[in-house]
Amino acid sequence: MSTVRKCFAVDLHDDPALIERYREFHKPGGPPKAVTEAIRADDIRVLEIYLVGNRMFMIMEQGDDFDATAKAERDAENPDVTAWDDMMKTTYQKRLPFAPEGSTWIEMERIYSLDEQ
């Protein structure tokens, strides 16, 4: 079984109280169970979010059965997932200055790998 690692970035609104609330939402048991189940059901094997200041970085490792289009369709039909995503996008996350309008998490390009040196 192989995995593909992808990395994404987004900013949070630069408000210490909002950032702390965002941290609380992401502690173990914080996200709704339906959100965690939806992530796991789509063969996402690893998902970690890192924070520095108000910039976030997400590492996601996807298995062979991951299908981004199918996941987006299933998520759109899941009211718990859409409510969570809407809250994150409208209250906490802020579009990166160079990102397309309406987007949040933007996939990053890997430009270096120690294994390739």
- Structural domains in the chain plus CATH codes: 3-108 (3.30.70.1090)
Catalytic center residues = 13
Rounded CA gap, 14 and 38, in Å? Answer: 29
> Could you give the percent of the chain with pLDDT greater than 70?
100
| Token output for 47 | 């998902």
The per-residue pLDDT for 110 is 97
* Structure confidence by residue, pLDDT tens digits, 37-93: 999 999 999 999 999 999 999 999 999 999 999 999 999 999 999 999 999 999 999
pTM, whole model, 2 decimals? 0.91
Of the pLDDT bands very low, low, confident and very high (cuts 50, 70, 90), residue 10 is: very high
Mean pLDDT value of segment 91-110: 94
Rounded CA gap, 50 and 95, in Å? Answer: 17
